[in-house]
């Protein structure tokens, strides 16, 4: 409504109608949606004063920037994502605005989405969250995040899509496209190299060009190629320039090489210098404090780097009007795509469809890491008592974690989901087991749950073990939470192991009852010193509003788990390349000594066995792979090779399998990984059913980035295609030649 009224007002003023509706021909070009966007942009641009041009480049409130009221061009409203629509805050502050109608559906964290390995789930996610943003009249959704998982200690990993650039690239595009079908811009973040939270405003990343192009940029390029309308710069530095105004990343790569026509938005408070912001690619500046610099200024937003300081440079002839107009064109293009798009569909908020989507994505993303003796699924026909242990079984996880914290309309906890699913078919008893963070508040949103506890650690463990000994099956729900020092923006994890003495709890439960299921709620890998004594482990992620129901679906077999890990679980932190070859988190300069050898690439190069490998994930059924083959033994420039594999469901229930294709270069001028993910397909098979999965291998899948030449290179020679169920579970190979 706000957009329509502003547009109508401007059209009436320019048409000279004085309250009398004008005909379509009276509309100025920029207000006529039948005209091409570029024509509308140029028409609006020539009507704007210099002051109006500068005004649209910086914030006017915590989450909005100005339009051009004189022309009826509306303001831009942003909202934090990427897992749900953030509650409203006051005009200038982070404090809650205390609305009663801004609760949202909380969708699973992006690690869970990536773990589905299913682009259809990504599209469903984007469509659903886009509808919620549209309902709330938001123009820009600040997400998704695609920074690469470099270390399991990064506090913000849960907001990203894993360690592999190909997987992240494939998963980000459907999310972006479906969000934007709602007339809401997806703002892909954090561009680039935002791989630690410690010293994030000051740290300078030192990484070679090859790793930059092969590992850290592909998902951003995929998003741009997929049509993303906005990109958010990251807090850190690269080449000693902050990434929100970085000549190489923004001007040279993003806008020149990739042809990005959208806006570059600063992270909040990520701008540090007017001249660099002007010259090095920033288009819209937002800030953490009311003036982007500090709090308490009376003319707050005029003090932004792209506000009066920029205007003074222009008036003094020290800044180019050509550069200004490029920025304004991009902002106008954004506004015409979003706020002035009167043809966008209606949105919806907290609909049954959105809750169903959240539950489906969560269930499909959960990863069954281990299942000895078929402890899962729990057969309620043979179970009289279930002991549920662990604080994470009762703790709400939608509140906290930083800017992705939400005010969800409701959140089903694991215990609530289990109790609802069991009904009167079995007895469910609960014990706390450990005490972590008893608070339940972030930024003015509270869970309203009292998690205070008076028992000692020893008493809690003893009570949990006693309950376990008296049960038919034990479900321990632990892992991490979204408190500072765990999975949380602004700080990195303090240790790789589980916090709050959870290892002691697990050991006691394993001693008390051999039918133990460990459920990990986290966005990161964790150490598991007890792994040999626990028969079943399930990675359940942060799953939002429907977390408990989705978990119960998997535990009791209504959903056959099909998630695959989007990152490697090392046995020890020292097995991770960022730690093995340097320090994490780094100090002033963080040197990425590992180069391209991130995650499974490092483990395979060094022959280090992981705890659980990239791409790993079990099912309640089994799949056989046969007859890996290629349609020809060689390919040339512009040609291709089709690699096929037959997959059969050899178990007794229907299930989904992610068939993965990796390519390895048998001999290369530069060091290369043993193999790299280059394709995947998720298929559904009934018992006994078979399907042939075919991947087309093209020349671009064989390339590496030669930093000495500054370009991508595919060398002639032999390559091996690996087909399998995980990076360490290859079921067949075929060799072919590129000549």
Catalytic residues: 267
User: What is the H or E stretch that residue 398 is in?
Assistant: none
Question: Quick one: tokens of 467?
Answer: 């309950």
The label of the residue with tokens 């440079």 reads 313
Listed in sequence order, the residues at least 6 apart from 225 whose beta carbon sits closer than 8 Å to its beta carbon are: 173, 258
Cβ atoms within 10 Å of 575's Cβ, excluding its own: 19
Question: Quick one: tokens of 357?
Answer: 């989507």
| Listed residue (394, 403, 497, 379) closest to 158, CA to CA | 403
514/373 Cα distance (integer angstroms)? 10
**End-to-end distance of the chain based on CA atoms, in angstroms?**
60
The label of the residue with tokens 């015409």 reads 336
CB 245 within 8 A of CB 280: yes
Greatest CA separation for the chain: 83
Residue 173 dihedral angles phi and psi, to the nearest 5° = -65, -50
Q: Is 367 helix (H, G, I), strand (E, B) or coil?
A: strand
19/11 Cα distance (integer angstroms)? 11
CB 119 within 8 A of CB 174: yes
334/328 Cα distance (integer angstroms)? 10
Angle between helices 502-512 and 457-469 (to 10 degrees): 30
Verify cis geometry, omega within 30 degrees of 0, for the bond prior to 202.
no
Angle between helices 37-47 and 321-337 (to 10 degrees): 130
60/377 Cα distance (integer angstroms)? 53
CB 495 within 8 A of CB 157: no
Residue 68 dihedral angles phi and psi, to the nearest 5° = -125, 85
11/9 Cα distance (integer angstroms)? 5
């Amino acid at each position: 409504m706000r957009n329509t009224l502003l547009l109508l007002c401007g059209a009436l003023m320019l048409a000279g109608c004085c309250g009398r509706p004008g005909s379509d021909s009276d509309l100025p070009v920029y207000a006529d949606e039948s005209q091409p966007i570029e024509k509308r942009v140029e028409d609006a641009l020539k009507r704007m004063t210099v002051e109006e041009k500068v005004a649209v480049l910086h914030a006017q409130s915590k989450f909005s920037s100005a339009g051009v009221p004189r022309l009826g061009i509306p303001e831009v409203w942003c909202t934090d994502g990427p897992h749900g629509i953030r509650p409203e805050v006051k005009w200038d502050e982070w404090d809650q605005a205390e609305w009663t109608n801004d609760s949202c559906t909380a969708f699973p964290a992006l690690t869970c989405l990536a773990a589905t390995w299913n682009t259809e789930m990504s599209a469903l996610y984007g469509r659903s969250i886009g509808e919620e943003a549209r309902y709330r009249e938001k123009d820009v959704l600040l997400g998704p995040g695609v920074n690469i998982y470099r270390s399991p200690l990064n506090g913000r990993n849960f907001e990203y899509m894993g360690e592999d650039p190909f997987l992240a690239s494939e998963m980000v595009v459907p999310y972006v496209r479906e969000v934007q079908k709602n007339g809401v811009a997806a703002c892909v973040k954090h561009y680039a190299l935002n791989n630690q939270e410690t010293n994030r405003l000051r740290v300078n990343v030192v990484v070679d060009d090859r790793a930059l192009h092969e590992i850290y940029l592909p998902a951003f390029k995929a998003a741009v190629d997929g049509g993303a309308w906005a990109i958010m710069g990251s807090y850190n530095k690269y080449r000693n320039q902050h990434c929100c105004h970085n000549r190489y990343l923004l001007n040279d790569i993003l806008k020149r090489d990739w042809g990005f026509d959208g806006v570059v938005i600063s992270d909040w408070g990520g701008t540090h210098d007017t001249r660099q912001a002007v010259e090095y690619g920033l288009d819209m500046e937002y800030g953490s404090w009311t003036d982007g610099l500090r709090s308490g200024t009376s003319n707050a937003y005029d003090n932004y780097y792209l506000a009066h300081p920029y205007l003074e440079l222009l008036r003094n002839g020290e800044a180019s009007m050509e550069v200004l107009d490029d920025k304004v064109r991009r902002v106008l293009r954004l506004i015409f795509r979003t706020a002035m798009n009167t043809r966008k569909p209606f949105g919806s908020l907290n609909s049954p469809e959105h809750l169903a989507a959240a539950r489906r994505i969560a269930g499909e993303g959960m990863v069954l890491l281990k299942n000895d003796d078929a402890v899962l699924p729990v057969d309620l026909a043979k179970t009289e008592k279930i002991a549920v242990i662990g604080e994470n079984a009762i703790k709400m996880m939608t509140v906290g974690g930083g800017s992705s914290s939400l005010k969800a309309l409701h959140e089903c906890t694991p215990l609530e989901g289990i109790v609802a699913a069991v009904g009167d078919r079995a007895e469910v008893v609960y014990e706390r087991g450990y005490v972590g963070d008893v608070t339940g508040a972030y930024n003015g949103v509270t869970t309203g749950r009292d998690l205070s506890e008076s028992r000692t650690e020893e008493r809690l463990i003893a009570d949990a073990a006693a309950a376990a000994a008296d049960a038919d099956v034990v479900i321990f729900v632990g892992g991490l939470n979204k408190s500072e020092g765990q999975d949380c923006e602004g700080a990195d994890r303090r240790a790789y192991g589980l916090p709050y003495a959870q290892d002691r709890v697990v050991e006691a439960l394993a001693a008390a009852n051999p039918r133990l299921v460990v459920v990990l709620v986290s966005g990161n890998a964790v150490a598991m010193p007890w792994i040999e004594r626990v028969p079943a482990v399930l990675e359940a992620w942060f799953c939002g509003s429907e977390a408990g129901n989705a978990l119960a679906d998997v535990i009791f077999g209504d959903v056959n788990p099909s998630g695959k890990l989007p990152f490697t679980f090392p046995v020890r932190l020292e097995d991770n390349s960022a730690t093995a070859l340097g320090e994490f988190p780094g100090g002033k300069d963080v040197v990425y000594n590992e180069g391209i050898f991130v995650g499974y690439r490092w483990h395979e190069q060094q022959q280090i066995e992981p705890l659980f490998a990239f791409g790993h994930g079990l099912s309640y059924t089994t799949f056989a792979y046969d007859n890996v083959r290629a349609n020809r033994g060689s390919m040339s420039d512009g040609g291709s090779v089709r690699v096929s594999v037959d997959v059969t469901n050899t178990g007794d229930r229907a299930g989904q399998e992610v068939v993965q294709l990796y390519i390895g270069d048998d001999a290369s001028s530069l060091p290369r990984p043993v193999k790299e993910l280059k394709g995947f397909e998720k298929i559904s098979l009934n018992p006994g059913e078979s399907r042939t999965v075919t991947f087309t291998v093209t020349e671009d899948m064989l390339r590496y980035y030669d930093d000495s030449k500054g370009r991508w290179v595919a060398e002639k020679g032999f390559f091996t295609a690996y087909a399998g169920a995980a990076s360490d579970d290859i079921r067949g190979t075929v060799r072919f030649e590129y000549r």
